[in-house]
Structure 1
């Protein structure tokens, strides 16, 4: 996912902030409107451990994936989804984990559609939006898959 998200940050930000010409052209046409996806957006969460590092796995619902995959989806939907995460895992209420979640909400279903979970880690640093995007939503270290391989490798003496 990191490679896919490493596109120039300015281009991504420009795409997200530019008005949608197609939506403006079809403003009077109901068929041009994007479908509305209703909550719940989060099916469940679970805490996982990779060696000494802990992380929260967020499992989006199909509505959550569909809503997150639409560029220009309202910030209100992302906030609703984050509120669902906090209802399931209140200890996730940190600025860094919220920023990782918003990054996954904005880009994960576009960059890596269908990934089973969006993984948030409390040990990751709080960074600005540009660095968050450039890091593939994983600032300060590798993705959890790389962490898992490192933990397995160290547990078996590097034999895997």
Structure 2
């Protein structure tokens, strides 16, 4: 059962953004290890997303955004955000380098 429905690249005033659309199963699963499985699904659709900062943003969304805003249509990952490590990404509410616009 897929965890990610699809992804799409868009352009914003700040730069490129990868919009990740989880499936219902992806939003609801609590099974250990599904974060890495879902990340691999993202990379299958968009191999150029494979950077440490993008991964940290994704895992942050996977763990925290699903709790805080479970029905958010997409999770937005931006390659221009600084790669600051996972904990600093969490501390920045998944958006290191400034809030989402």
Gaps of 5+ in 2: none
Q: TM-score normalised to the size of structure 1?
A: 0.60
As a proportion of its length, which structure holds more helix? 1
1:123 is matched with which residue? 80
**For 2:10 and 2:82, how far apart are their aligned partners in 1?**
19
Structure 2 counterpart SS, 1:64: helix
Where in structure 2 are the equivalents of 1:25-36 lying within 5 Å? none
Q: How does 1:53-132 map to 2 (within 5 A)?
A: 53-67=15-29, 70=30, 73-74=31-32, 76-132=33-89
Structure 1 portions without partners, runs of 5+: 1-38, 147-160
Once superposed, what is the RMSD of the aligned Cα atoms?
1.2
TM-score by length of 2: 0.93
Moved over 3 A (4+): none
Q: Deviations over 1:49-103 (max 9, x none)?
A: 1125111000000000001xx4xx41x2111100100011111011110110000
Q: In structure 1, how many angstroms separate the alpha carbons of the residues matched to 2:52 and 2:88? A: 15
With over 3 angstroms needed to count, the CA separation of the structure-2 counterparts of 1:131 and 1:61, relative to structure 1, is: same
The structure in which a higher percent of residues are strand is 2
Tell me the matched-pair count. Answer: 101
